[in-house]
Amino acid sequence: MSATRRIHWMKYASASNFYPLANRLVPLFMGLAIALAVIGLYIGFFVAPVDYQQGNSYRIMFLHVPAAWMSMFIYLLLAMYAIISLVWRVKMADIMAYSLAPTGAMFTFIALLTGALWGRPTWGTYWIWDARLTSELLLLFLYLGYMGLYSAIPDRQRASRAASFLAIVGVVNVPIIYFSVVWWNTLHQGSSFSVSEGASMTSDMLSALLLMAFACWAYTIAVVLRRAQAVILERKKVALWASQISKNKEA
């Protein structure tokens, strides 16, 4: 990697450059999220046909599948930032990991809830302790564990290190969730969409699904950047307070 590219990357790793950039990106991605969701849901509810097996309940897919994807993507992203934060002590990476966690937990909860509400009319049960559902529930606990550990330890650097470590160890759960439907016999259906085999659904269903997935991405970018901004200000406040105390001691 060349030195110039490194400097460029470091530029956005600093909070003072990040903050004004986020100010411009947040409304952009929030607007994009709303537009994509409106178009996606229109296609999903008014254009896509009724499923001949499941009836209308399959329309939960347009929310369930993107939420489940996000729950895993966000976790991987969180773990990546946790590694950067642990190894290179980049403050912005820690702020990003911390800011991703609540949104990741929210998408995990939505994936579980919509899965239960889809399971009832389709399988006849809200919940079953099978590999896919159990590992996704574990993902929710990993998010909550990360957040809980972070806020439980008073010293922020120690809190960050402990929580980051937990997040990194928890990464092994993500491939387990993803491949659980292949590795074990489960009630959960296999993926309806794969890069190698294409989609097992009509093109209207697929467009609605992908539009909703992009909407979730745009939403995540907007809300996580906003949260990161709040965290930057909160930490700046603590630093300012500390510097003022040491200044007063000297005086």
**Cβ distance to other proteins smaller for residue 174 or 228:** 228
Which residues in 148-177 contact other proteins (CB under 8 A)?
none
- Nearest partner of 115 among 61, 156, 77, judged by Cα: 61
Three-state DSSP state, 54? coil
The site map against other proteins for 20-39 (x = CB under 8 A) is: ----------x---------
52 binding other proteins? (CB under 8 A): no
Identify the residue among 118, 143, 146, 217 touching other proteins (CB under 8 A).
Answer: 118
Q: Helices then strands (H, E): number in the chain?
A: 8, 2
- Give the angle subtended at the CA of 197 by the CAs of 56 and 63, to the nearest 5°: 35
Select from 8-16, 142-150, 155-163, 242-250 the region that touches other proteins (CB under 8 A): 242-250
DSSP E strand stretches across 82-122: none
Handedness of CA 159, 103, 187, 213 (dihedral sign): negative
Tell me which of 72, 78, 101, 223 binds other proteins, using CB under 8 A. Answer: 223
Between CA 53 and CA 153 the distance in angstroms is 51
Instruction: Establish if 110 lies at the interface with other proteins (CB under 8 A).
Output: yes
How near is the Cβ of 110 to other proteins at its closest, in Å?
5
Gap between the Cα atoms of 71 and 52, Å rounded: 29
Largest CA distance in the chain: 79
Binding site for other proteins (CB under 8 A): 30, 50, 55-57, 59-60, 63-64, 67, 102-103, 106, 109-110, 113-114, 117-118, 120-121, 219, 223, 226-227, 229-231, 233-234, 236-237, 240-241, 244, 247-248, 251
